[in-house]
Amino acid sequence: MERIRTTLVETQQYPLLEAEFVVKWTVTDFMRSQYGDEFPGLGSVVVLTSSVLYAQATTCVEYVKATWPRTGPYLIDIPDATLRGPSTTATRPTPLEIGSPIGEPLHLSIDMRNTPSGELVLRARGTYEELIVELAQQIAWIGSALITSPFGDQLAYARPLIRGTSSPSRFEMTFERKPLHATETASWLPLFCGAVIASGFPIPNRSDEVGLEIPLELLAGIAGVRHAFEYNGGVVMKGFSHMFVPVRKEADRVQWHAIISQRNGPYQRIVSAAEKTPVVLYDTGERRAWLVPATDVLLHMAQHRHRLEPFEVNGKRIELETNVPVGHPAKKVLLAIQSLPLSKDEYTFKHLILDMWSLLEFLIDQNVSSVRKSSWASIKGSRRDFVNGFKFKAVVEERSPFREKQTPLKTTSGGWPLLVCDIDALVLLADGFEDIIVPDDNLNSGLCRSWQRLPKGNDYLATSTKMLKELYDVAGCRLNRNYLTSTQLQWHQGDSILFESCKYKRVCECNRLQQILPKSVVGTIRRPELILDQGAVIFGHPGYMMRDVFSRARTEEPASIYSQPNAPLTPIVIPHDSEDPSFSDGDTTGRSGSEVTVASSTNTLSSDTTPSDVYPAMDTPIPDCSRKRHRPPEMCIELSDKEGEDHEPDSLLSHKRTKNIPADDASYLSPLQHHHRNPKDAPERPHSRPDSIMQVIQSG
């Protein structure tokens, strides 16, 4: 920067009080390349200064205020005036006069215009030489910072070159761009793809920290960080494709290490990722579960927050319409209303979804990390009679830290906990989800009363055929449908019926329960032959001893153990241990699926008491997924707080009341009808954001 002063002053015989600068650059071209036709003010643009090892990221206005405190707040408006003034081909001058607030009144008059050849011409007249010098330095810095890299997404250095002309008071300014050196690598570089670093300009002094210095709120905005989380005894900040981990603290400065994935994070990409993310909603009161896409859960969470604390604009409550039409994915609703304003400070439905997705994604990562620390490989071929999850209401209300709960399951679950653990599905626990997946009234006339709704009290799980087909696809079995997961979990139909009509709709003892079994199981797996595109499936098994867990068909020569042939075995699975009273599941355990009364209304409110046959969830770490049978302890910690249970008074499917479907008019396992019952509730949105201290991101 001192070279600019030398070029301007030392060649002059008299104090330089008048100068003309011809700059081979226009701010309009840069702003349009970055923002299109609607661009913000120049002062709010984020720029980089200095070098890779010692970089600073600030807005334009903050940098000029800190570097040129006398004239910076005034001179930053000079190039910004061309954005609000004539077009780039205009030749009409734009006058601007300012005065210094300190000492004797100092005056600087500037005429500015853009030429047709793409140059910015400034003529300055002042009463003090230092004003002319500072004007030249600021124009040189702005031109170096607000220019794109010629090397694609790779960052570059830019520095100004200024030289005199035949006229003593006329100067030409150009900008040179060079690539970073091959050894200049840092974890923060992917945050600024295609940007340049204004080289040769000063930044504030620091101790021995290296990397990028950036205000915390600016870092969060650039990386899309919505929350800071407590994790493993520390705090991390996480966005869609960025995570920042603190590594050092000194005085009011924290040094972070940036971890950046290759995916970018526009809203559409985030919604698409949520649509492919499985989430289990487990009803602790009615003991049943649903495996659904995270997009459905996000819509329900949005309505839940809206009910607890309604969104308002200008004192008027927002009508948050999130019902999903039959046959349409929740993704369409998330995209359709993303611009809906939820408050007067430009907070939209899109921002709400980004906030909630940030929480869900963090909990998914935390869940995966906990499972990996356990003996994950040992669950193959074993039973898993529990699920680990988080309280739904705590997530909706952002009650950090989020504590994981463990809930024992009945042995009638049919193996779906293995699947949930295998696909890293997030589990959310609450009492009163009600009917999340219900049959289409018009397409399911051949279904008996027992299967009009997902039966209660037996820890069954319902999911859509679309979800199961996606699991086949991810496992590489889209065509043969051998395995649902890479660990070779299988869908076993056994002797149950699937999409066929019941023979006796009023008095029927049909079994429609499916099972999840590992490859290591002894016996023959009977896979479903036909899977409808729009259907639903229930996983579980009746409470009596099932002799049809495996098909009776055997291979011609039975498998042998060691070197001796085995006699044919009839596998029997005993789901209920009558000798252990602590593991008794109550009266419903001994009933078959056809004997369970399931004609429940979809608008039933949950009670404040937990059913006697429900094991309370336990605040324990995730245990090893071992082959040993897990039994609940004699004493359990209550799942909910004293203030109240995690009740979900309304269904996830529809905010309207739904009539009970007559036995002759409903079917469960055929083309599927999704109702999104959205409770109009919303909790407070506490922002536990740390103080806005300056941060340094560790390089390397």
Ranges of H-type helices in 277-391? 294-308, 330-336, 349-373
Are 415 and 287 in a shared domain?
yes
pLDDT recorded at residue 464: 94
Q: Given 189, 204, 219, which residue is the final one in a domain?
A: 204
Residue 145 has pLDDT above 50, yes or no: yes
686: in domain: no
CA–CA dist 611, 495 (Å, integer): 32
Are 297 and 195 in a shared domain?
no
Residue 650 has pLDDT above 50, yes or no: no
Torsion sign (Cα): 572, 575, 580, 584: negative
For the segment 543-553, the average pLDDT, to the nearest whole number, is: 43
Interior CA angle at 558 toward 553 and 559, to 5°?
A: 120
Are 366 and 465 in a shared domain?
yes
51: in domain: yes
Q: CB count, 10 Å around CB of 253?
A: 15
Least trusted range by pLDDT, from 249-253, 377-381, 387-391, 689-693: 689-693
Are 196 and 303 in a shared domain?
no
Q: Best-predicted range by mean pLDDT among 68-72, 95-99, 338-342, 566-570?
A: 338-342
Query: Which residues neighbour 35 within 8 Å (Cβ) at sequence distance 6 or greater?
Result: none
φ and ψ at residue 463, rounded to 5 degrees: -150, 170
Are 159 and 278 in a shared domain?
no
pLDDT recorded at residue 583: 35
Tens of pLDDT, residue by residue over 422-445, are: 999 999 999 999 899 988 877 777
690: in domain: no
CA–CA dist 272, 135 (Å, integer): 49
Are 195 and 280 in a shared domain?
no
Confidence grade of residue 83 (pLDDT, cut at 50, 70, 90): low
Are 197 and 340 in a shared domain?
no
Ranges of H-type helices in 224-293? 267-275
437: in domain: yes
Written as one letter, the residue type at 539 is F
Are 300 and 182 in a shared domain?
no
Q: CB count, 10 Å around CB of 530?
A: 8
pLDDT averaged over every residue in the chain: 74
pTM of this structure: 0.55
Distances (CA, A) of 363 to 108, 186, 373: 57, 28, 15
Are 309 and 440 in a shared domain?
yes
Residue 19 has pLDDT above 70, yes or no: yes
CA–CA dist 607, 187 (Å, integer): 52
Q: Is 653 exposed, middle or buried (0-12, 13-18, 19+ CB in 10 A)?
A: buried
pLDDT recorded at residue 467: 94
247: in domain: no
Domain of residue 193, residue span: 2-204
Share of the chain above pLDDT 70, in %: 68
DSSP-derived 3-state class of residue 695: strand
Least trusted range by pLDDT, from 126-140, 235-249, 577-591: 577-591
Tens of pLDDT, residue by residue over 252-280, are: 788 888 877 655 557 888 899 999 999 99
Q: What is the CB-side half-sphere exposure of residue 301 using CA atoms within 13 A?
A: 30
Ranges of H-type helices in 322-415? 330-336, 349-373, 392-396
What is the token pair recorded at 613? Answer: 């046959």
For the segment 492-499, the average pLDDT, to the nearest whole number, is: 88
**Sole residue written with tokens 């209920």:** 576
**Residue 211 contacts residue 255 (beta carbons within 8 Å):** yes
| Nearest of 142, 138, 122, 141 to residue 130 by alpha carbon | 138
Residue 525 has pLDDT above 50, yes or no: yes
β-strand 234-238 against 242-250: which pairing, if any? antiparallel
Q: Best-predicted range by mean pLDDT among 32-41, 357-366, 372-381, 586-595?
A: 357-366
φ and ψ at residue 133, rounded to 5 degrees: -65, -45
509: in domain: yes
CA–CA dist 305, 307 (Å, integer): 5
CA–CA dist 55, 51 (Å, integer): 5
What is the token pair recorded at 384? Answer: 């898993």
Q: Given 148, 179, 204, which residue is the final one in a domain?
A: 204
Distance of CA 211 to the CA centre of its chain: 27
263: in domain: no
For the segment 614-640, the average pLDDT, to the nearest whole number, is: 38
Q: Given 170, 204, 238, which residue is the final one in a domain?
A: 204
Interior CA angle at 155 toward 149 and 157, to 5°?
A: 75
Least trusted range by pLDDT, from 51-55, 496-500, 651-655: 651-655
Q: CB count, 10 Å around CB of 255?
A: 18
Tens of pLDDT, residue by residue over 663-674, are: 333 333 333 334
What is the number of domains present in the chain? 2
Distances (CA, A) of 188 to 177, 184, 598, 690: 20, 11, 56, 21
φ and ψ at residue 537, rounded to 5 degrees: -135, 145
Residue 630 has pLDDT above 70, yes or no: no
Confidence grade of residue 240 (pLDDT, cut at 50, 70, 90): low
- Give percent helix, percent strand, percent coil of the chain, each to the nearest 5: 25, 25, 55
519: in domain: yes
Share of the chain above pLDDT 90, in %: 30
